[in-house]
Amino acid sequence: MDDSSSNLHPARPVLEAPDIKRVLTRIAHEIVERAKGADDVVLLGIPTRGVFLARRLAAKLEEITGSAIPVGSLDITMYRDDLRLGPARALAHTEIPAEGVDGRLVVLVDDVLYSGRTIRAALDALGDIGRPRAVQLAVLVDRGHRELPIRADYVGKNLPTSQRETVKVQLTEEDGHDGVLLGTRAPASEHAESGARPRRGTAPAG
Amino acid sequence: MKRHLISAADLTRDDAVLILDTAEEMARFADRPIKKLPTLRGRTVVNLFFEDSTRTRISFEAAAKRLSADVINFSAKGSSVSKGESLKDTALTLEAMGADGVVIRHGDSGAPHRLATSGWIGGSVINAGDGTHEHPTQALLDAFTMRRRLVGEEGAALDGRRITIVGDILHSRVARSNVHLLSTLGAHVTLVAPPTLLPIGVERWPCEVSYDLDAVLAKSDAVMMLRVQRERMNAAFFPTEREYARRYGLDGERMARMPEHAIVMHPGPMNRGMEITAAVADSPRCTAVEQVANGVSIRMAVMYLLLGGAEPALSREDSAHPSPATTPDGGAARRPAVEENN
């Protein structure tokens, strides 16, 4: 809570475009370091923004290693544990690279790590596609408040937040510009939400 | 349309495109080693078939099973229905068993509507063909097939495409559903049939009517041949089968007059030699087999959108079924937009 007028423009930037660029470069190097090269790495982004981050990471990895890195997307909608708490959602694309995932090192890529439920769903979805050698997780922002025993292997920025705050990642491909905004949830929507589903005290996903 | 899929006429353009796009994703799952999804785990879908239709039933059954729903098949033959049980008592039995979705095929037009609006059951009703009224999932899978073959772009509709439906329009629920859905999606529909096989009031349908197949073939993007339903040919609708086949059947010569990209569709089962010759049926331009495969994807999409969430994803504002009082979860207010964090 900064001040009383924060309802109008409550969001303040915590990462700007150059920061995001540097962070992704660092994560790409970390992946190469941990995997001793990136020969068997497959990047799978979680829609919507995880996919764009995965593509950017793949481009960086190609710069570093000199060889193309398979990149795809993994939609987790059908595997969510909160499907029955709202209307059925529209599905996003799942595109597994032609190389497949069997025996490879899959790096899941998402924008924000929050409750951990999205990643749990992603692991379930991945299990129906194949059997990777190992699965790792790269996120741009880790905002805490895990509800499952899940952690990220590569973190762009650790961002301590309260549950009343919102973290909004904006990427050029989807939003026209790069940035990460930290804001406060509008009280109105909080009311409506708790009114509609009183049981639901947790983060919906993340 | 609300919690039910009774009529293709209830679908808005956005609903229809959402179903087609969802089906496109469902089709991708069919190529995987593990085709099953956990989405409807613990939900029960009852296939309630008062008319025999193995093809439609197994399509719905495969769709429900791929979404991990429990499927109960209920066919009228050899059941309590043949002992005289009414639709109401059957429905109450299903409700007592906790059916979340009921797929109904019935010989009487309006039976699914009755089931959905009577308050007998709380689950979603999906019309799998009722009398000579509608067969909405067939129309959706036809539109899906057309969009794949003629447009090839997700998120799109069928704007400006010319679709010709040939045959027994009078008895065809497939034609009725297709006319509504295809016109909603922006296509121009032309019906071709002998005057005796056109229903009364067809001039008020959102389509054109012709009696001359050869005249419309050259400007059709898709030609849908309907089965001549011999079981319903109890009056003198046309003089002989040979004459019907000559004037309204599709043979190789007629197919050659269609534009290069145009496709031939058939909802099946085909009467080879009657409305379609074997040469046409086996040609790569005929999508009959593809339509069957697409049927599973479409039915998965419909079941996911109706049963997958706490409330259906399709638009609720509609006046076709005036029964707001009977919805058990009538108070389910629209939830605010979901969180941006994921």
User: Quick check: do B8-135+294-316 and B137-291 share a fold?
Assistant: yes
Quick one: pLDDT at residue B285? 96
Quick one: pLDDT at residue B316? 53
A192/B335 CB distance under 8 A: yes
Quick one: pLDDT at residue A6? 43
pLDDT one-digit tens code per residue, B258-275: 999 999 999 989 999 999
SS3 (DSSP) at B165: strand
Angle (CA) A65-A68-A74 rounded to 5° is 115
What residues are paired with B311 via a beta bridge? Answer: A87
Q: What whole-number percentage of chain B has pLDDT above 90?
A: 73
Of A87, A129, A192, the CB nearest to B311: A87
- Which residues of A, range 50-69, sit inside 8 Å of B by Cβ? none
Give the confidence band of A200 by pLDDT, cuts at 50, 70, 90.
very low
Of A79, A112, A195, the CB nearest to B38: A79
Could you give the domains of chain A?
17-161 (3.40.50.2020)
Q: List chain A residues with CB under 8 Å of B308.
A: 78, 83, 88-89
More confident of the two residues A202 and B74: B74
Q: Is the backbone peptide bond immediately before B269 cis, with ω within 30 degrees of 0?
A: yes
B341/A75 CB distance under 8 A: no
The pTM score is 0.86
Quick one: pLDDT at residue B94? 87
Quick one: pLDDT at residue B315? 66
Structural element, H or E, at residue B27: helix B13-29
| CATH classification code of B8-135+294-316 | 3.40.50.1370
Token digits for A16?
């700007």
Cβ of A186 under 8 Å from any chain B Cβ?
A: no
Q: ipTM for the complex?
A: 0.81
- Is A84 in contact with A101 (CB distance < 8 Å)? no
CATH 3.90.1520.10 fits B137-291, yes or no: no
Q: Of A45-54, A122-131, B77-86, give the lowest mean pLDDT range.
A: B77-86
Of B25, B28, B310, the CB nearest to A86: B310
Give the confidence band of B323 by pLDDT, cuts at 50, 70, 90.
very low
pLDDT one-digit tens code per residue, A104-115: 999 999 999 999
- The domains of chain B are located at 8-135+294-316, 137-291
Q: What is the DSSP letter of B211?
A: S
pLDDT one-digit tens code per residue, A12-33: 999 999 999 999 999 999 999 9
CA distance B296 to chain A (A): 17
